[in-house]
Amino acid sequence: MEAVQSPIIPIIGDWIRETPGTISLGQGMVAYGPPPEAIEAIAPFLADPQAHRYGPVEGMPALVETLRQKLTTENRLDLDRTRIFVTAGGNLAFMNAVLAVADPGDEIILQTPFYFNHEMAVVMASCRPVTVETDKHYQLRVDAIRAAITSRTRAIVTITPNNPSGAVYEERDLRAVNALCAERGLYHITDEVYEYFTYDPAMHVSAGAAPGAAAHTISIYSLSKAYGFASWRIGYMVVPESLAVAVNKIQDTMLICAPHVSQAAAIGALRAGRAYCDRHVVTLAGVRARVLERLSAVGDLCEVPTAAGAFYCLLRIRTPMDAMTLAERLIREHRVATVPGTTFGLTDACYLRVSYGALAADTVDEGVGRLVGGLKSIVG
């Protein structure tokens, strides 16, 4: 456990609590809460005397069936040879996947920048994370991924839309990774938590929808972002039938079943459907535009890629200062929080991840204004 990096969000949270009035551009959350249908589903659930018992490991049948319909119509997955498991968030789904496919000492390929909890899970499972750099636009480099494969490789991980870069991976590259996995007997673990968060003209494509992908693709989703469900801890995963017994063992040991009250609320949220998130993404697109506009004022101090998905900007700061020091100074001296890029595996320069998902329209200018002013003061 000492080899596992410390989770950055609690560290940033401590600095924020020590600096009252800080505006957070750190943790990846949305500003809105669940749809009314989710709240309305709770009372009937509580009235059922059977509601408080353990349930199936894979999830409540009504929720699994609702997810089946969503995955078939929206993601176009072939579910004939796969199994759906409802999990306590996307992170548990990822841990289930790693434990199901890898033994201690095996290798899991991550793209840099990676999501820090993925890297932590791989190390926690006594496996080795093998990192492959993405290109200057944070897109996949399939040839580099191929070159990183060894006899101990068990899976290749992709995240699209991406955390922390906001990149939306090209369909051709996702299909190339799938083909590579089929060729080399590997699993493609695809994290699609931000599937609804794309901005014109980008479009999200599920890797598991490619022909023949069902046998070697593990697809991970979550309600945390799209439905404002972060504290409810509901995610889900689609796994090949060949992994169902392993995932069942793992989840039964760690969780038994996702909380039933949250599953009931999830059924209500999915009744509201994608349209609920889409309305908020329209608002978020305006926030994104304003953030990019304000950040352009410090173009001489940092590079600001125009991310096409999620709700992040990954800034490369032109400074010899390490990212952790800069992030702490921005909080303590300018009361604005970001996340240092080192936690995502970025060590060649100073990077900061800016999250604008939780910003209300009226706090955008103040929060980003503090960031701009802080960078000019500290770096400029």
Same domain, 87 and 196: yes
The total domain count for the chain is 2
Whether residue 3 is contained in a domain is answered as: no
Read off the pLDDT of residues 341-373 as tens digits, 9 standing for 90 and up: 999 999 999 999 999 998 877 788 899 999 999
364 is a domain residue: yes
The verdict on 23 and 106 lying in the same domain is no
Same domain? 177 vs 200: yes
What is the per-residue pLDDT for 298? 87
- Kindly tell me if the per-residue pLDDT of 72 is higher than 90: yes
Q: For residue range 294-339, what is the model confidence (pLDDT) as tens digits?
A: 898 888 899 988 899 999 999 999 999 999 999 999 999 999 999 9
**Judgement on whether residues 133 and 196 belong to the same structural domain of the protein:** yes
Q: What is the pLDDT of residue 335?
A: 97
Computed over every residue of the chain, the mean pLDDT equals: 95
User: Is 1 inside a domain boundary?
Assistant: no
pTM across the whole model = 0.95
Tokens 């996949």, residue located: 140
- pLDDT tens-digit profile of 77-125? 999 999 999 999 999 999 999 999 999 999 999 999 999 999 999 999 9
For residues 41 and 14, state if they share a domain: no
Same domain, 174 and 319: no
Burial category of 235 from C-beta neighbours within 10 Å (exposed 0-12, middle 13-18, buried 19 and up)? buried
- Tell me: do 232 and 295 sit in the same domain: no
Residues 327 and 285 occupy one common structural domain: yes
Q: What is the pLDDT of residue 122?
A: 98
Residues 110 and 187 in one domain: yes
Range of the domain at 78: 36-272
CA 19 to each of CA 201, 232, 285, 328: distance values in angstroms, whole numbers, following the listed order = 39, 28, 30, 10
Instruction: State whether 26 and 64 are in the same domain.
Output: no
Q: Average pLDDT in the 285-296 region?
A: 91
- CATH of residue 221's domain is 3.40.640.10
Rg (CA), the chain: 20
**Does the residue 97 lie in any domain?**
yes
Position 306 scores a pLDDT of 82
**At residue 257, does pLDDT exceed 80?**
yes
The pLDDT tens digits of the residues spanning 171-221 come to 999 999 999 999 999 999 999 999 999 998 999 999 999 999 999 999 999
CATH code for the domain in which residue 343 is found: 3.90.1150.10
Residues 242, 310: one domain? no
- Rounded Cα distance, 229 and 170, in Å: 28
d(CA 19, CA 28) in angstroms, rounded, equals 20
| Per-residue confidence (pLDDT) for residue 360, from 0 to 100 | 78
pLDDT at 111: 98
Domain's final residue, options 223, 253, 272: 272
Residue 94 counted as domain residue: yes
Residues 138 and 215 in one domain: yes
pLDDT at 108: 98
